Structure 1
């Protein structure tokens, strides 16, 4: 998986509502650290995203089903981590879900089962079952 692209997408989501919370930022840096992305690189990604007027999603081709799941899971988790969900964030997640090959409503269904705190929520198998039934054919 291209973790730099994933971090870039997470950063775009965090900025799409023009309300970057410290909780969102901490989560991004924690995920970056877990995936061995240096803080200076994340700082650069934040600066790039802040300087752009319009956020554009990168091409999301050649991703495995596991990678697609990770993208959606982390996006929805980040969207909810600050306990404030904006329409702009939902639309961003829905657009990404479509680009990954899923119906938009997968975001709503996953969102009801994924929480900002990873200690809570449905099992991975349950979430994978939900994603599977929302695949675009």
Structure 2
């Protein structure tokens, strides 16, 4: 269920500007496959995305994975809109991160998924923005 929820949250970000770019759609479809979702589950996420879930049950690593994927998706089409930044910041807050985490990580996360970032360094940086529970 967590994988479907992640894909749904990402679809919401991708469609926040009322346009789903080809690169965004392709990236989401590939990610859905990597998450082990079926073609039907991926198609359902595009047709009727659900509201973002309650993130409190997620482990720290899962929270980071959400955040990383959100930021990468925001950049995948080469255009970053203020509405996308706001959405990412809102979800980051719901994930338990303090403000500024999106800005701190986004310069290290690339729009091209084939360019891999130092994920350990990014997770350590993100952890500095975790709010005390």
The normalised TM-score by structure 1 is: 0.90
Quote the residue 1:52 is aligned against: none
- Give every structure 1 segment of 4 or more consecutive aligned residues whose post-TM-superposition deviation is greater than 2 Å: 118-122
Question: What residue ranges of structure 2 are gaps of 5+ in the alignment?
Answer: none
Aligned-residue RMSD, C-alpha? 1.5
Quote the residue 2:112 is aligned against: 117
Larger mean CA deviation between 32-41 and 84-93 belongs to 32-41
Q: Is the 8 A contact 1:113 1:121 kept in 2?
A: no
Q: Using the TM superposition, give the Cα deviation of residue 121 of structure 1 relative to its aligned residue in structure 2, in angstroms.
A: 5.3
Aligned residue pairs total 132
Question: What residue ranges of structure 1 are gaps of 5+ in the alignment?
Answer: 50-54
2:96 is the alignment partner of 1:101: yes
Could you list the per-position Cα deviations for residues 78-132 of structure 1 after superposition, in whole angstroms to 9, with x for gaps in the alignment?
0000000011100110001101110121001111110111343541121012101
Q: Is the 8 A contact 1:101 1:136 kept in 2?
A: yes
Quote the residue 1:78 is aligned against: 73
The normalised TM-score by structure 2 is: 0.92
2:91 is the alignment partner of 1:91: no
